[in-house]
Amino acid sequence: MTVNPSGWRPSAPANEQGEAQTVTGNRALMLEEPLLFEIGSTEQTGVDFAEMPRAATRLGGLERSRQIGLAGLSEPEAVRHYTRLSRQNYAIDLGLFPLGSCTMKHNPRLNEKVARLPGFADVHPLQPQETVQGALQVINELAFWLLDLTGMYGVAMSPKAGAHGELCGLLCIRAALEARGDKREVVLVPESAHGTNPATAAFAGYRVENIPANPAGRVDLEALKARLGPDVAAVMITNPNTCGLFEPDMKAISDAVHTAGGFVYCDGANFNAIVGKVRPGDLGIDAMHINLHKTFSTPHGGGGPGSGPVVLSEALAPFGPLPFAAKYPDGSFKLVEEEHAADEHPNAFGRMVAFHGQMGMFTRALAYILSHGADGLKQVAEDSVLNANYVLRSLEDVLEAPFGQSGPCMHEAIFSDKGFEGGVSTIDLAKALIDEGFHPMTMYFPLVVHGAMLIEPTETESKASLDQFIMAVRSIAERAKAGDQSLKAAPVHAPRRRLDETLAARKPVLTYREPEPAQAAE
Amino acid sequence: MRYLPLSDPDRSEMLRVIGAGSIDDLFRDVPEEARLKGPIEGLPMHASEMAVERHMSTLSRKNMVAGDVPFFLGCGAYRHHVPASVDHIIQRGEFLTSYTPYQPEIAQGTLQMLFEFQTQVARLFGCEVANASMYDGSTAMWEAIVMSHRISRRNKTIISSGVHPHYVSVARTMAKFTEDVLETGLPDLTAETDAERLIASIDGETSAVVVQYPDILGRIADLTAIAEAAHAAGALLIAVVTEPVALGAIRSPGEMGADIVVGEGQSIGVGLQFGGPYVGLFACREKHVRQMPGRLAGETVDAEGKRGFVLTLSTREQHIRREKATSNICTSSVLCALAFTAHLTLLGEKGLRQLASLNHARACEAAERLAAITGVELLNTSFFNEFTLKLPVEARPAVHAMVGKGVLGGVSLGRLYPGIDALQNGLVVAVTETASDEDIAALETALKELVQ
């Protein structure tokens, strides 16, 4: 065994910053953690089982003979392994996480508590319906509030995340078009859209065409109108858009698309800016997904699970997927599945997931909505927009704000790298922010702004937190404009320096392989 | 409002800095007629933590809790004991409240955990590589079908009748909108799987064959011959595993020649949760990795030469490739993957094998006792922790009648295949380590009373 199995050894008495190295590679509270497979063994376990009953096997002669190679840890080792790993992550619980378009806001712990109530957490999806009336009521209540907040006609609750919701919306559109015998092949997507929009349209069998933005960062209405025609199935619009701007022509866009026989899909990723203030249904939108893990604060969990219910207009609602929870006049709830589809939902396009959607996210989102109420949600939108504009106006003298002249932003503020000198770019500013104790903003997105920096502070940041962030960005922006080459070395205080992504992609190592015996004996 | 830190003086001061007279000035791009004048109608005003908790508790009490009664449901979701430390680990704020690890210098915790998860999934499935998770088993299966389509450049997929009908429904939904052609059928209530029929239907047009292992009726069949037949025709074999605990006892699909193995990871570390969130598992051969959907964590080094991990091969993904991406997936199921990997780490090889043995032993015992009831017949000659009974009566009303006796007695095939007469008497019973002797006795008594 070696002292530091992570493979890294201190090779010099001090690193570039002149800090003394340690024998272990640890630095006080910053603890190196080897891979599970380097510290565990196939004979170790953290779970005790009662005496094994003796029984003949009925495994069809397929008993496993080879070792699987699963390393185990005792409970104290396992808790320490994951706790040490956790401390190498930045998180919203630690500080400002201003990723534009991602809505990293505080995750209330009440929501974690209610999701773990046995009546929600320990219920099987195929239990007889009389035993899951409370679960169906949760789905139904959440659906009701989502419809209230969006002014739409129906909602599909089963999609598993935003992109899955986009897919659901486009499949509704496709089903509606096919029902009227209308073959359309093209979906129009603005250049500034999230990558999921064109990917989803392609996944649903459509050809994707871009529509340009105007100099004010909005959809070019005239260019859009000129492209509309009998081949256009849908237009996918993000509103507020990915430049953090409201599309003031939204109703005119919807009207033009409808006149041309198409449908309007709205990417609801940025709904946080307008929740409780504007109802998408009043803007002529036909379908919009809602990321419960953004606007309604179910935890991101390091990349999911999410949840992407899709609200639908009267024209699209009949085509929504199965199954869904329906309320009956006697107060009971029913899960409408395939067998009742002919009576209750004859035009449904089918099932998108095995079961009924992200129940664990529904309970959290419902608790979030009930906690805030009508007044609290309105305040959410207002404070998120206020915080973003405060950041915009506090930084626009040091960073170029390409749309700053055209008025206020919504819940996120966008800047470019214009004026950076000496080859310093957006990524260098972002990595220097890590050293200052902040998660960087969204970088290089949307593509329509050079070296884009998209900052979404959210409403759960205090003014003091924003002021500290603004101070850090201002300082780094000045250094970037002065061409300070030390920015290219950032971060220096994080658990790792910049990682070689090219090497990772050129020679992919995607699973652990035990070293050859000669090396292991080192 | 307890979640909003700004005070009214803060707001006034910030508006002053911005140069706006009121908050409404900031919403001036929203046309006047679209702006709501006050708090939205219909929704109550904000509520205390206590009031919300009370409401949610009331709703939760309207459900029958699996852990409170003798419980025998499976068919794609399984009730296992999850060690208390797993929930502690996933509630660490640094995991729970972090984002997709786009900034690897401050996301090594998530990235290393995903690298370990990928290794565990690949080894469990007998494959070379695995991704960092999908939404669930059913969507992972569809992604495997379209991935095979890209590799084989053929579009016909043969789906075994032993695949979970809801998974088949998902594939059918998606295939309506693509060029994919699906061939599938209904299961027969026989001890044998449809392996021979599958082999006979493979031809030069076949892109992939999809089999579930163990299948929807709990049957286990060797996949070797199907893999050989598929490969001889230039097709791929996709195996679907809905109960990964089984792989602690039986050979992995990869060992038997499966090219892509997908699965539902819920049964390890993730609770039942009425169907979600769950975690899709996705593994394949290394040579096909560039056709894989979803995120991948990979090993690399940092500027000082220290080992570290990053998201890699992202040129497959939507945020780089847009409409040319291998999938539209973005958010996956990382926190559930953490629950899976933490539980599997606590088990280790030794614990997983013990857990699998215990499940199988409990299921064998229950099968023997239930099959001894006059009129009840055990369909399976092979099974892991789930088997199918043929009852002398329709199973669906029997399941409801058992609820009246306080027993959640299984999943009727009438629920899964409504309107198919030949399957109406089938009852799928799952028996895990959580079923006690008393639970099995209660099911036996309840069934006896129903069929006599």
Q: Which residue's entry shows tokens 């973003």?
A: A388
Round to whole Å and give the CA distance between B93 and A95: 11
- Assign A519 to helix, strand or coil: helix
8 A C-beta contact, residue A415 and residue A401: yes
Structural domains of chain A sorted by starting position, each given as residue range(s) with its CATH number in brackets: 111-366 (3.40.640.10)
Please give the structure tokens belonging to residue B154: 């053929």
Q: Residue type for A152, please?
A: M
8 A C-beta contact, residue B316 and residue B326: yes
Q: Tell whether the model's pLDDT for residue A355 goes beyond 90.
A: yes
Chain B CB contacts of A92 below 8 Å? 93, 97-98
**Residue A189: strand pairing partners:** A210
* CA count, 13 A, side-chain hemisphere, A152: 29
Tell which of B29, B213, B222, B301 to mutate to test the A interface (max A CBs under 10 Å).
Answer: B29
pLDDT at res. B146: 96
Please answer yes or no on whether A126 and B77 come within 8 Å at the CB atom: yes
Q: Tell whether the model's pLDDT for residue A4 goes beyond 60.
A: no
Please answer yes or no on whether B249 and A63 come within 8 Å at the CB atom: yes
Q: Tell whether the model's pLDDT for residue A3 goes beyond 50.
A: no
Going from the C-alpha of B96 to that of each of A122, B87, B92, B136, the distances in angstroms are 20, 11, 6, 19
- A414 phi and psi angles, rounded to 5 deg: -115, 140
Say if residue A282 is exposed, middle or buried (CB neighbours under 10 Å; 0-12, 13-18, 19+). middle
Going from the C-alpha of A57 to that of each of A42, A50, A97, B159, the distances in angstroms are 23, 19, 53, 28
Alpha helices in A151-294 (DSSP H): 162-179, 196-203, 221-227, 250-259
| Region of residue A483 (phi > 0: left; psi between -120 and 50: alpha; otherwise: beta) | left
**Residue A232: strand pairing partners:** A186
**A451-470 pLDDT, tens digit each:** 999 999 999 999 999 999 99
Q: Kind and range of the H or E element at A232?
A: strand A232-238
Q: Which of A89, A127, A132 sits opposite B94 (nearest CB)?
A: A89
Q: Kind and range of the H or E element at B126?
A: none
Q: Tell whether the model's pLDDT for residue A294 goes beyond 60.
A: yes
Going from the C-alpha of B379 to that of each of A32, A69, B193, B429, the distances in angstroms are 53, 34, 11, 11
Q: Which residue's entry shows tokens 């606590």?
A: B346
- Residue B179: Cβ within 10 Å count: 9
Residues 389-428 of B with CB under 8 A from A: 399-400, 403, 408, 411, 415-416, 418-419
Q: Residue type for A512, please?
A: Y
Mean pLDDT of A145-155: 97
Q: At what angle do helices B437-451 and B334-371 cross, to 10 degrees?
A: 60
**B88-106 pLDDT, tens digit each:** 999 999 999 999 999 999 9
8 A C-beta contact, residue A167 and residue B328: yes
Tell which of B330, B332, B427 to mutate to test the A interface (max A CBs under 10 Å).
Answer: B330
Mean pLDDT of A168-180: 94
Round to whole Å and give the CA distance between A440 and A431: 7
- Percent of chain A surpassing pLDDT 70: 95
End-to-end CA gap in chain B: 60
Q: Tell whether the model's pLDDT for residue A128 goes beyond 70.
A: yes
The ipTM (two decimal places) reads: 0.97
* Higher pLDDT among residues A341 and A276, named by residue: A276
Round to whole Å and give the CA distance between A356 and A341: 15
Mean pLDDT of B410-414: 98
Q: Is the peptide bond before B397 cis (omega within 30 degrees of 0)?
A: no
Q: At what angle do helices B334-371 and B108-125 cross, to 10 degrees?
A: 30
Q: Which of B91, B307, B357 sits opposite A7 (nearest CB)?
A: B307
Mean pLDDT of A180-189: 94
pLDDT at res. B329: 86
- Assign A13 to helix, strand or coil: coil
Round to whole Å and give the CA distance between A199 and B315: 13
Round to whole Å and give the CA distance between A76 and B420: 52
Mean pLDDT of A358-377: 98
Chain A CB contacts of B26 below 8 Å? 382, 385-386, 389, 408
In the CATH hierarchy, which fold is given to the domain comprising B66-81+356-451? Aspartate Aminotransferase, domain 1 (3.90.1150)
Q: Considering only alpha carbons, which residue of chain A is nearest residue B175?
A: A204
pLDDT at res. A12: 43
pLDDT at res. B315: 84
Please give the structure tokens belonging to residue B19: 């140069």
Please give the structure tokens belonging to residue A110: 């009440």
- Residue B354: Cβ within 10 Å count: 20
Q: Tell whether the model's pLDDT for residue A15 goes beyond 70.
A: no
Q: Is the peptide bond before A323 cis (omega within 30 degrees of 0)?
A: yes
- Residue A14: Cβ within 10 Å count: 10
Please give the structure tokens belonging to residue A86: 């956790």
Please answer yes or no on whether B17 and A390 come within 8 Å at the CB atom: yes
Please answer yes or no on whether B85 and A78 come within 8 Å at the CB atom: yes
For residue B333, how far is the Cα from the chain centroid? 10
Mean pLDDT of B392-398: 97
Q: At what angle do helices A196-203 and A162-179 cross, to 10 degrees?
A: 40
Rg for chain B, CA atoms, rounded: 25
Please give the structure tokens belonging to residue B73: 């449901």
- Percent of chain B surpassing pLDDT 70: 100
8 A C-beta contact, residue A161 and residue A304: yes
How many inter-chain contacts (A to B, CB under 8 Å) are there? 740
* Higher pLDDT among residues B54 and A521, named by residue: B54
- Residue A56: Cβ within 10 Å count: 9
Chain B CB contacts of A386 below 8 Å? 6, 11, 14-15, 18, 23, 26
Rg for chain A, CA atoms, rounded: 26
pLDDT at res. A9: 46
Chain B CB contacts of A439 below 8 Å? 99, 103, 106
The DSSP symbol for A321 reads P
Q: Please say whether the dihedral angle defined by the alpha carbons of residues A148, A152, A153 and A154, taken in this order, is positive or negative.
A: negative
Q: Is the peptide bond before A495 cis (omega within 30 degrees of 0)?
A: no
In the CATH hierarchy, which fold is given to the domain comprising B84-343? Aspartate Aminotransferase; domain 2 (3.40.640)
Please answer yes or no on whether A36 and B4 come within 8 Å at the CB atom: no
Round to whole Å and give the CA distance between B223 and B131: 23
Tell which of B273, B311, B431 to mutate to test the A interface (max A CBs under 10 Å).
Answer: B273
Q: At what angle do helices A133-150 and A359-395 cross, to 10 degrees?
A: 30
Q: Considering only alpha carbons, which residue of chain A is nearest residue B218?
A: A59
pLDDT band at A19 (very low <50, low <70, confident <90, very high): low
Q: What pTM does this model have?
A: 0.96
**Residue B130: strand pairing partners:** B283
- Percent of chain A surpassing pLDDT 90: 85
**A472-503 pLDDT, tens digit each:** 999 999 999 999 999 999 999 999 999 999 99
Please give the structure tokens belonging to residue B44: 């109550």
pLDDT at res. A519: 53
Residue ranges of domains in chain B = 66-81+356-451, 84-343
Say if residue A451 is exposed, middle or buried (CB neighbours under 10 Å; 0-12, 13-18, 19+). middle
From B52's Cα to the closest Cα of chain A, the distance in A is 6
Length of chain B: 452
